[in-house]
Amino acid sequence: MLLLQVIVGGLLLGAIYALFSSGLTLIWGMMNVINFAHGEFVMLGMYVALLVVVWIGGGPETFGFAAAFALFALGVCVYLSLIRHVMRGPMLAQILSTFGLALLLRYTAFWIFSANFVSLPQTSFSGTLNVAGILLPVPQLVAGVVAAALTIALHLLLTRTTLGSQLLAVAEDRSASMLMGIRPDRMQAIAWGLAGASAGIAGALMAMSYPWSPSVGETFGLTAFVVVTLGGFGSVPGAMYAGLIIGLVQALSAYWLGPIYKDIIVYALFAALLWLRPQGLMGKA
Amino acid sequence: MAGKPRNRQAAVADAGLAKMNDGRERREDKLSKLCATLVAAVAAALSAAPLRAAEAVKIGVLMPLTGNAAAAGQASKAAVEIAAEIVNGKHPELGNLPLATTEGLPNVGVAKVELVFVDHQGNPSLAQQLATRLITQDKVQALLGAYQSSCSFTATAVAERYGIPFLVGDSAALNITGRGFKWVFRTTPIASDYAATYMRFFDDMKKEGKKIASIAVVNENTDYGTSVADSIEAAAKTSNMPVAIRIPYSASSTDVSAQVLQLKEKQPDVTIFISYTSDSILYIKGMKNLDYLPPMVIGDDTGFSDPSFIPAVADIAQGAMNRSAWDIGKPGTTTSKINDMYKAKTGRDLDDTSGRNMQGFFALAEAINRAGSTEPEKIRETLTRTDLKPDQLMMGYNGIKFDQTGQNILASTYLIQLKGKQYQLVWPQKAATASLDWPMKGWKH
């Protein structure tokens, strides 16, 4: 029974990993840019949730949407003011600019919110469900299920809608898409917005169960890279599977072997998988 | 460009000099002006530098001001700043506290103490670099720090190499002293003191008829957690206390539910957490979420004393115990007045960790004053002869007196318990201000 409990916990956390990693993979898929500030987007999502709860009140639906909108806007701004320009520069400039952005966001957060750990006040979503002996903390359950649903929704948006086709067209061939009357700038700004929104909601969802400080983005950024590489760069379903796998492997290895081994196991597995399948689980070779 | 005269040189040029020459002269003039300014600046700096050195005693303070332990680092920074204010200003209301009643360091030409803070972010290699910088560039006369044991471990080695006294205010790992170092002094109790305290407490509890069949030890896996957990395991072995499970983990974990489930499986009577901030909060929340409440939880200070801990989990951690050598005391006492100063600055009560750093600073300043000099060797030599009595301290130690290794042999600690939104002193009985609740109520109140 305890084992089942561990598995459920791992999968719920994995679903959140999947959600924020899908934003990172989307940006890579669209324009081959690695966003080192992605973890910081997640961190800002957490603070937006906190500010909304403190100032306005309301449950996860309120602060989840607020975080999504705020980070969508931030994503678009980052694209328009920074990425669009450095895209014309060398690869190194792109990498360093997002890295610089990460530091800027992190230390701005330190300045505004101070270094103290904060956590969300108890919301209406608290308590624990007992389903056939398995304890499901409501905040984690809601977070995991919502994250999984949103990741699937993002996948459907990309594959089943006109907007998705337009985004993919720009990713495939920028010039050809321009000939078809698609504005690449607008599409790429939307992609950054979606990436920001996914990170923002993921942050808001995690804020319900975890305390955090401005340096939390580092941990999430690293996790997102592992998930994206494992799932295959540019693949949202890949990020989904990889997120769940990593959540599960972390939980199981922490339970069986002890918590200090969980990252060793994750990275060993990660290296082995890359050796066998360098393009990742769902990436194109 | 060359048109109307715009300045004196241009006017001279108009009076007859060739335009070409004018341009060159203007450049030369500028250059010479610049040189003169530079020389003046250098001269000023040179003449000012020795003057300043004689005026202030510089103490370098290494703390994690950002990163995982930033809250604790910032709290300690504020505490050390207040300690410096107390030393530098006149505070006759603070009774026997050394250097409080007088201004500055009377024996060192009434020198003021100047603090140089650096942020090592909890990174031991950065702590090492910054200690080097403080000594070689900032030319500090002594060092204080560095919160995380792993950082104190590396930074003290630098101080030893350069021959600068290093006072460790609050790092508990055994290995910081006892390396044959001459320049390292530590006022705080250490891992083995804490382990012995816990065992004495368990003995007392068993005498009162409480059931403690086994304990669990959960520790973060750097020098601090490992060292304290090792000491507890060793002490438990000598006092025949079974350790049901020991769980080392990394303090940067975002999820600890697997560990909580391991504990749930073993059902220990007491669980001791040697944890930093976010992990302490995660454990308490995780235990509630998975509905596991052991009869007693003891936090080994640090995370449980962090300013973020009580606001985050006080409601669900009622009765959790913690160790502390700090007690605010009754209004009007020296400790209570110090707490008032701290509260005025930060808006919170002083915590044990910050208090121990503050005490470390007072011990260091007292020694520098007694040395009557800023020469490192003299300060070191005076530190070895430090002998402070309990009434000269703000912390609940039995005094400060260093042994051969630089460890304070009179260090000791209390046990406190979370009641409402405050910790209260519950053990040892002779010092207790409140009664002990056993088992803890956690969230079931």
**Each residue's pLDDT tens digit, B332-358:** 899 999 999 999 999 989 999 999 999
Please tell me if residue B444 touches chain A, with a CB cutoff of 8 Å: no
**Hunting for tokens 């600019």 — which residue is that?**
A97
Q: Closest Cα to residue B94, out of B348, B340, B325?
A: B340
Given an 8 Å threshold on Cβ–Cβ distance, is B278 in contact with A212?
Answer: yes
The range of the structural domain enclosing residue A165 comes to: 2-276
Largest CA distance in chain B: 109
Residue A209 to chain B, least CA–CA distance (Å): 8
Question: Is B67 at the interface with chain A, CB within 8 A?
Answer: yes
Residue A43's CATH number: 1.10.3470
**B 118-157 → A contacts, CB under 8 A:** none
Q: Does domain B55-189+330-412 sit in CATH 1.10.3720.10?
A: no
- Measured between beta carbons, the chain B residues lying within 8 angstroms of A213 are 68, 70-71, 278
Q: Which residues of A5-31 are buried (b: 16+ CB within 10 A; e: fewer)?
A: bbbbbbbbbbbbbbbbbbbbbbbbbbb
Nearest CA in chain B to A249: B258
Chain B nearest-CA distance from A19, in A, is 16
Q: Which residue of A has its CA nearest to B277?
A: A117
B281 contacts A259? CB cut-off 8 A = no
Q: pLDDT of B138-170, one tens digit each?
A: 999 999 999 999 999 999 999 999 999 999 999
CA distance linking residue A179 with residue A199, whole number of Å: 32
The domain B192-324+415-427 having CATH identifier 3.40.250.10: the answer here is no
Task: Considering only the beta carbons, identify the residue of B73, B258, B312 that sits closest to A255.
Answer: B258
The answer to whether position A145 is within a domain reads: yes
- Tell me if B261 and A213 make a contact (CB, 8 A cut-off): no
Percent of chain A with pLDDT strictly greater than 90: 51
Nearest Cβ partner for B66 among A115, A119, A209: A115
Predicted TM-score (pTM) of this structure: 0.74
Non-local (6+) Cβ contacts of A281 within 8 A are A230, A231, A232, A235, A238, A241, A242, A273
User: Span A81-102, mean pLDDT?
Assistant: 90
Identity of the residue in B67, B248, B281 whose CB atom sits nearest the CB atom of A211: B281
Is the Cβ of B347 closer than 8 Å to some Cβ of chain A?
no
Would you say residue A165 lies in a domain? yes
Nearest to A219 among B247, B252, B315 (CB): B252
Best probe of the A interface among B123, B222, B259, B261, by most A CBs < 10 A, is B261
Contact B119, B72 (CB under 8 A): no
| Number of inter-chain CB pairs under 8 A, A vs B | 109
B44 — pLDDT class (breaks 50, 70, 90): low
Rounded to 5 degrees, φ, ψ at B182 are: -100, -20
- Whether residues B308 and A135 touch (CB distance < 8 A) is answered with no
Please tell me the distance from the alpha carbon of residue A203 to that of residue A197, in angstroms, as a whole number: 10
**B262 closest CB neighbour out of A110, A114, A255:** A255
User: Which of A50, A54, A116 would best serve as a mutation to test chain B binding (most B beta carbons within 10 A)?
Assistant: A116
CA distance B395 to B431: 13
Nearest-by-Cβ selection for A259 from B66, B249, B315: B249
At B22 the pLDDT is 52
Do A115 and B71 lie within an 8 Å CB cutoff?
yes
Q: Which amino acid is at A101?
A: L
Delimit the domains of chain B by residue range: 8-53, 55-189+330-412, 192-324+415-427
Indicate the pLDDT class of residue B84, thresholds 50, 70 and 90.
Answer: very high
pLDDT tens across A143-200, in order? 999 999 999 999 999 999 999 999 988 888 888 888 888 898 999 999 999 999 999 9
Tokens of B165: 């006294």
Residue B67 is nearest to which of A2, A135, A215, comparing CB atoms? A215
The 10s digit of each residue's pLDDT in B234-292 is 999 999 999 999 999 988 777 888 899 999 999 999 999 999 888 999 999 999 988 89
| Closest to B144 measured CA to CA, from B237, B210, B241, B77 | B77
Residue A127 has pLDDT above 50, yes or no: yes
Chain A interface includes B43 (CB < 8 A): no
Q: Which residue has the tokens 């080994």?
A: B300
Interchain CB distance below 8 Å, A128 and B289:
yes
Summarised one tens digit per residue, pLDDT across range A212-229 is 888 889 889 988 999 998
Residue A284 in domain: no
Two domains, one topology: B55-189+330-412 and B192-324+415-427: yes
User: A283 in a domain, yes or no?
Assistant: no
Q: Choose between B307 and B345: higher pLDDT.
A: B345
Residue A98 lies in a domain: yes
> Which helix H or strand E contains A261, and what residues bound it?
none
Give every CB contact of residue A12 below 8 A, 6+ residues apart in sequence.
Answer: A140, A141, A143, A144, A145, A247
**Do the Cβ atoms of B307 and A116 come within 8 Å?**
yes
SS3 category, A63: helix
Number of domains in chain A: 1
Q: Is B261 on the interface with A (CB under 8 A)?
A: yes
Place B30 in a pLDDT band, splitting at 50, 70 and 90: low
